[in-house]
Amino acid sequence: HYFQKISLKDRLDGELEEHELQLLPSGWQIIGDIIIVNIPEKIWDKKYLIAASLLDMYPNCKTVMQDHGIKGQYRTPDREIIVGSCTETVHKENGCLFKMDATKVMFSKGNMAERTLMSAYGDDETVVDMFAGIGYFTIPIATHANPEKIVSIEMNPMAYEYLLKNIKLNHAENIVEPRNGDCMDVTPEGIADRVIMGYVGTTHKYLKPAINAVKSEGGVLHYHETVPEDLIYKRPFERIENAARGSGRYAEILELRKIKKYSPGVWHVVVDAAIKD
Ligand code: SAM
Protein backbone atom coordinates (compact mmCIF):
# COMPACT_ATOMS: atom_id res chain seq x y z
CA HIS A 1 0.00 0.00 0.00
CA TYR A 2 1.74 3.12 -1.03
CA PHE A 3 0.42 6.53 -1.90
CA GLN A 4 1.86 8.41 -4.78
CA LYS A 5 1.17 12.11 -4.99
CA ILE A 6 -0.38 13.17 -8.29
CA SER A 7 1.89 15.65 -10.01
CA LEU A 8 0.84 19.15 -11.07
CA LYS A 9 1.25 18.09 -14.69
CA ASP A 10 -1.03 15.06 -14.29
CA ARG A 11 -3.63 17.18 -12.52
CA LEU A 12 -3.76 19.66 -15.38
CA ASP A 13 -3.59 17.05 -18.15
CA GLY A 14 -6.61 17.64 -20.37
CA GLU A 15 -7.07 21.22 -19.14
CA LEU A 16 -3.89 22.64 -20.65
CA GLU A 17 -2.40 22.11 -24.10
CA GLU A 18 0.63 19.83 -24.35
CA HIS A 19 3.06 22.76 -24.90
CA GLU A 20 1.55 24.52 -21.86
CA LEU A 21 2.00 21.42 -19.72
CA GLN A 22 5.69 21.48 -20.65
CA LEU A 23 5.99 25.01 -19.23
CA LEU A 24 4.52 24.18 -15.82
CA PRO A 25 6.86 24.89 -12.90
CA SER A 26 8.49 21.75 -11.51
CA GLY A 27 9.00 23.20 -8.03
CA TRP A 28 7.63 25.80 -5.62
CA GLN A 29 8.25 26.94 -2.07
CA ILE A 30 5.85 26.45 0.81
CA ILE A 31 6.11 28.95 3.66
CA GLY A 32 3.57 28.20 6.37
CA ASP A 33 0.25 27.97 4.50
CA ILE A 34 1.45 29.95 1.47
CA ILE A 35 2.60 28.39 -1.82
CA ILE A 36 5.12 30.54 -3.70
CA VAL A 37 5.51 29.68 -7.35
CA ASN A 38 7.00 31.09 -10.52
CA ILE A 39 4.54 30.66 -13.38
CA PRO A 40 6.14 31.52 -16.74
CA GLU A 41 4.67 34.49 -18.61
CA LYS A 42 3.62 32.27 -21.54
CA ILE A 43 1.09 30.42 -19.36
CA TRP A 44 0.21 33.36 -17.07
CA ASP A 45 -3.37 33.31 -18.43
CA LYS A 46 -3.69 29.83 -16.84
CA LYS A 47 -2.63 31.07 -13.39
CA TYR A 48 -5.99 30.43 -11.67
CA LEU A 49 -6.15 26.83 -12.95
CA ILE A 50 -2.56 26.23 -11.84
CA ALA A 51 -3.11 27.84 -8.43
CA ALA A 52 -6.28 25.81 -7.85
CA SER A 53 -4.40 22.58 -8.64
CA LEU A 54 -1.60 23.54 -6.25
CA LEU A 55 -4.15 24.18 -3.48
CA ASP A 56 -5.65 20.74 -4.21
CA MET A 57 -2.20 19.21 -3.77
CA TYR A 58 -1.65 20.96 -0.42
CA PRO A 59 -4.98 21.07 1.44
CA ASN A 60 -3.38 22.90 4.39
CA CYS A 61 -2.37 25.85 2.19
CA LYS A 62 -4.65 28.84 1.65
CA THR A 63 -2.74 31.25 -0.57
CA VAL A 64 -0.79 31.02 -3.83
CA MET A 65 1.66 33.79 -4.77
CA GLN A 66 3.69 34.49 -7.86
CA ASP A 67 7.38 35.16 -7.16
CA HIS A 68 9.15 37.92 -9.06
CA GLY A 69 12.44 37.69 -7.13
CA ILE A 70 14.12 39.43 -4.20
CA LYS A 71 15.41 42.99 -4.34
CA GLY A 72 17.63 45.49 -2.55
CA GLN A 73 19.58 45.71 0.69
CA TYR A 74 16.50 44.80 2.74
CA ARG A 75 16.17 41.61 0.64
CA THR A 76 12.49 42.45 0.01
CA PRO A 77 10.56 39.90 -2.05
CA ASP A 78 8.49 41.03 -5.01
CA ARG A 79 5.40 38.80 -4.90
CA GLU A 80 1.78 39.02 -6.00
CA ILE A 81 -1.20 37.04 -4.79
CA ILE A 82 -2.91 34.78 -7.33
CA VAL A 83 -5.37 33.13 -4.95
CA GLY A 84 -6.09 33.90 -1.30
CA SER A 85 -5.92 37.01 0.82
CA CYS A 86 -3.74 36.44 3.87
CA THR A 87 -0.06 37.26 3.35
CA GLU A 88 1.02 36.65 6.95
CA THR A 89 1.83 33.10 8.01
CA VAL A 90 3.75 31.05 10.56
CA HIS A 91 6.32 28.68 9.10
CA LYS A 92 7.53 25.75 11.18
CA GLU A 93 11.09 24.49 10.70
CA ASN A 94 13.39 22.50 12.95
CA GLY A 95 11.18 23.05 16.01
CA CYS A 96 11.11 26.84 15.48
CA LEU A 97 8.23 29.13 14.56
CA PHE A 98 8.88 31.88 12.02
CA LYS A 99 6.06 34.39 11.66
CA MET A 100 6.32 36.63 8.60
CA ASP A 101 4.49 38.46 5.87
CA ALA A 102 5.58 36.64 2.72
CA THR A 103 5.16 39.82 0.64
CA LYS A 104 7.43 41.84 2.94
CA VAL A 105 10.28 39.59 4.08
CA MET A 106 12.18 36.70 2.56
CA PHE A 107 12.66 33.16 3.79
CA SER A 108 15.20 31.20 1.79
CA LYS A 109 14.65 27.47 1.28
CA GLY A 110 18.29 27.14 0.20
CA ASN A 111 19.60 28.37 3.56
CA MET A 112 17.83 25.69 5.59
CA ALA A 113 20.92 23.53 6.14
CA GLU A 114 22.82 26.58 7.42
CA ARG A 115 20.00 27.54 9.80
CA THR A 116 20.01 23.98 11.16
CA LEU A 117 23.81 23.94 11.45
CA MET A 118 23.84 27.22 13.41
CA SER A 119 21.32 25.77 15.87
CA ALA A 120 24.01 23.32 17.01
CA TYR A 121 26.20 26.21 18.18
CA GLY A 122 25.91 28.73 20.95
CA ASP A 123 25.95 26.82 24.25
CA ASP A 124 27.09 29.22 27.01
CA GLU A 125 28.13 31.70 24.34
CA THR A 126 27.42 35.33 23.55
CA VAL A 127 26.34 35.39 19.92
CA VAL A 128 26.04 38.48 17.71
CA ASP A 129 23.66 37.96 14.78
CA MET A 130 24.49 40.99 12.61
CA PHE A 131 21.87 40.66 9.86
CA ALA A 132 19.19 39.00 11.92
CA GLY A 133 16.19 39.46 9.59
CA ILE A 134 13.13 37.85 11.19
CA GLY A 135 15.41 35.65 13.30
CA TYR A 136 16.62 33.08 10.73
CA PHE A 137 19.62 32.14 12.88
CA THR A 138 18.69 33.81 16.17
CA ILE A 139 15.58 31.69 16.73
CA PRO A 140 17.19 28.25 16.01
CA ILE A 141 20.11 29.07 18.32
CA ALA A 142 17.80 30.39 21.08
CA THR A 143 15.61 27.28 20.69
CA HIS A 144 18.20 24.51 20.44
CA ALA A 145 21.30 25.81 22.23
CA ASN A 146 21.70 27.37 25.62
CA PRO A 147 23.42 30.67 24.88
CA GLU A 148 24.31 33.29 27.43
CA LYS A 149 22.91 35.99 25.16
CA ILE A 150 22.18 36.71 21.49
CA VAL A 151 22.42 40.28 20.23
CA SER A 152 20.31 40.41 17.06
CA ILE A 153 20.67 43.40 14.75
CA GLU A 154 18.25 44.23 11.94
CA MET A 155 17.72 47.56 10.23
CA ASN A 156 14.65 46.92 8.06
CA PRO A 157 11.70 48.02 10.25
CA MET A 158 9.43 45.42 8.63
CA ALA A 159 11.80 42.51 9.29
CA TYR A 160 12.55 43.90 12.78
CA GLU A 161 8.83 43.87 13.62
CA TYR A 162 8.74 40.13 12.83
CA LEU A 163 12.01 39.53 14.68
CA LEU A 164 10.31 40.90 17.83
CA LYS A 165 7.22 38.76 17.18
CA ASN A 166 9.34 35.63 16.65
CA ILE A 167 11.35 36.21 19.82
CA LYS A 168 8.03 36.24 21.73
CA LEU A 169 6.49 33.35 19.78
CA ASN A 170 9.52 31.15 20.55
CA HIS A 171 9.79 32.30 24.18
CA ALA A 172 13.29 33.72 23.74
CA GLU A 173 12.75 37.12 25.41
CA ASN A 174 15.28 36.36 28.15
CA ILE A 175 18.02 35.33 25.72
CA VAL A 176 17.72 37.71 22.77
CA GLU A 177 18.60 41.40 22.85
CA PRO A 178 17.19 42.87 19.61
CA ARG A 179 18.63 46.06 18.13
CA ASN A 180 16.93 47.99 15.33
CA GLY A 181 19.67 49.73 13.38
CA ASP A 182 22.52 49.52 10.89
CA CYS A 183 25.06 46.98 12.09
CA MET A 184 27.76 49.40 10.97
CA ASP A 185 26.68 51.59 13.91
CA VAL A 186 25.06 49.37 16.53
CA THR A 187 27.20 46.19 16.59
CA PRO A 188 28.55 45.74 20.14
CA GLU A 189 32.33 45.52 20.67
CA GLY A 190 34.45 42.93 22.44
CA ILE A 191 31.67 40.64 23.69
CA ALA A 192 31.10 37.87 21.13
CA ASP A 193 32.13 34.22 21.13
CA ARG A 194 30.40 33.92 17.76
CA VAL A 195 29.39 36.41 15.08
CA ILE A 196 26.98 35.55 12.27
CA MET A 197 27.05 37.64 9.08
CA GLY A 198 24.05 36.15 7.25
CA TYR A 199 23.73 38.69 4.46
CA VAL A 200 25.02 38.62 0.93
CA GLY A 201 25.87 41.52 -1.33
CA THR A 202 28.33 43.77 0.43
CA THR A 203 28.98 41.70 3.54
CA HIS A 204 32.74 42.31 3.42
CA LYS A 205 32.15 45.98 4.18
CA TYR A 206 30.92 44.92 7.63
CA LEU A 207 33.92 42.75 8.51
CA LYS A 208 35.46 45.46 10.69
CA PRO A 209 32.51 45.78 13.12
CA ALA A 210 32.15 41.97 13.02
CA ILE A 211 35.78 41.37 14.00
CA ASN A 212 35.61 44.10 16.63
CA ALA A 213 32.57 42.37 18.12
CA VAL A 214 34.69 39.29 18.94
CA LYS A 215 35.96 39.28 22.51
CA SER A 216 39.68 39.43 23.27
CA GLU A 217 39.80 35.69 24.18
CA GLY A 218 38.81 35.00 20.57
CA GLY A 219 35.72 33.76 18.76
CA VAL A 220 34.28 32.40 15.53
CA LEU A 221 32.98 34.31 12.53
CA HIS A 222 30.42 32.87 10.09
CA TYR A 223 30.89 35.04 7.02
CA HIS A 224 28.50 34.85 4.03
CA GLU A 225 29.55 36.03 0.58
CA THR A 226 28.41 35.69 -3.02
CA VAL A 227 31.52 34.93 -5.02
CA PRO A 228 32.38 34.02 -8.64
CA GLU A 229 33.27 30.33 -8.97
CA ASP A 230 36.97 30.89 -9.72
CA LEU A 231 37.46 33.06 -6.62
CA ILE A 232 35.67 30.81 -4.09
CA TYR A 233 38.84 29.63 -2.33
CA LYS A 234 40.58 33.00 -2.52
CA ARG A 235 38.53 36.18 -2.20
CA PRO A 236 36.50 35.47 0.97
CA PHE A 237 39.62 34.15 2.77
CA GLU A 238 41.65 37.22 1.79
CA ARG A 239 38.90 39.61 2.81
CA ILE A 240 38.61 38.03 6.27
CA GLU A 241 42.38 37.82 6.78
CA ASN A 242 42.93 41.43 5.68
CA ALA A 243 40.12 42.74 7.87
CA ALA A 244 41.50 40.84 10.89
CA ARG A 245 44.97 42.24 10.25
CA GLY A 246 43.47 45.74 9.90
CA SER A 247 41.99 45.36 13.38
CA GLY A 248 45.34 44.15 14.77
CA ARG A 249 44.11 40.56 14.99
CA TYR A 250 44.61 37.25 13.25
CA ALA A 251 42.15 35.02 11.34
CA GLU A 252 42.41 31.24 10.98
CA ILE A 253 40.15 29.88 8.23
CA LEU A 254 38.32 26.81 9.54
CA GLU A 255 35.89 25.79 6.83
CA LEU A 256 34.10 26.86 3.67
CA ARG A 257 30.58 25.69 2.80
CA LYS A 258 28.88 26.14 -0.55
CA ILE A 259 25.27 27.06 0.24
CA LYS A 260 23.74 27.38 -3.21
CA LYS A 261 24.20 28.77 -6.70
CA TYR A 262 23.25 32.43 -6.43
CA SER A 263 23.32 33.31 -10.11
CA PRO A 264 25.09 31.79 -13.14
CA GLY A 265 28.73 31.24 -12.15
CA VAL A 266 28.28 32.79 -8.72
CA TRP A 267 28.05 30.88 -5.41
CA HIS A 268 26.70 31.81 -2.02
CA VAL A 269 29.35 30.49 0.38
CA VAL A 270 29.87 30.62 4.14
CA VAL A 271 33.35 30.78 5.63
CA ASP A 272 33.94 29.91 9.28
CA ALA A 273 37.01 31.65 10.68
CA ALA A 274 38.52 31.77 14.15
CA ILE A 275 39.44 35.33 15.15
CA LYS A 276 42.33 35.56 17.58
CA ASP A 277 44.36 38.33 19.19
N1 SAM B 1 20.31 34.26 6.08
C2 SAM B 1 18.90 34.51 5.89
C3 SAM B 1 18.15 33.19 5.64
O4 SAM B 1 18.50 32.16 6.24
O5 SAM B 1 17.15 33.13 4.91
C6 SAM B 1 18.65 35.56 4.84
C7 SAM B 1 19.40 36.88 4.94
S8 SAM B 1 18.51 38.16 5.76
C9 SAM B 1 17.17 38.42 4.72
C10 SAM B 1 19.50 39.58 5.64
C11 SAM B 1 18.96 40.75 6.47
O12 SAM B 1 19.99 41.71 6.67
C13 SAM B 1 17.79 41.50 5.85
O14 SAM B 1 16.68 41.40 6.69
C15 SAM B 1 18.29 42.97 5.74
O16 SAM B 1 17.28 43.92 6.02
C17 SAM B 1 19.38 43.00 6.79
N18 SAM B 1 20.41 44.04 6.59
C19 SAM B 1 21.03 44.39 5.43
N20 SAM B 1 21.97 45.34 5.66
C21 SAM B 1 21.96 45.58 7.01
C22 SAM B 1 22.73 46.44 7.87
N23 SAM B 1 23.67 47.24 7.37
N24 SAM B 1 22.47 46.43 9.19
C25 SAM B 1 21.50 45.63 9.70
N26 SAM B 1 20.74 44.79 8.94
C27 SAM B 1 20.97 44.77 7.62
pLDDT, one tens digit per residue, over 231-274 is 999 999 999 999 999 999 999 999 999 999 999 999 999 999 99
How many Å lie between the centroid of ligand 1 and the Cα of residue 75?
A: 7
How many Å lie between the centroid of ligand 1 and the Cα of residue 132?
A: 6
Q: How far apart are CA 181 and CA 174, in angstroms?
A: 20
Ligand 1 atom 24: the closest Cα is on which residue? Answer: 182
Q: Is 182 close to ligand 1, i.e. is its CB under 6 Å away?
A: yes
Q: Residue 209 belongs to what H/E stretch?
A: helix 207-213
Contact residues for 197 (Cβ-Cβ < 8 A; gap 6+): 130, 131, 203, 206, 207, 210, 221, 222, 223, 224
pLDDT tens readout for residues 203-229: 999 999 999 999 999 999 999 999 999
How many Å lie between the centroid of ligand 1 and the Cα of residue 253?
A: 23
Ligand 1 atom 18: the closest Cα is on which residue? Answer: 131
Q: Is 120 close to ligand 1, i.e. is its CB under 6 Å away?
A: no
Q: How far apart are CA 221 and CA 60, in angstroms?
A: 39
Which atom of ligand 1 is found nearest the CA of 133? Answer: 14
pLDDT tens readout for residues 41-100: 999 999 999 999 999 999 999 999 999 988 888 889 999 999 999 999 999 999 999 999
Determine the pLDDT at residue 110.
81
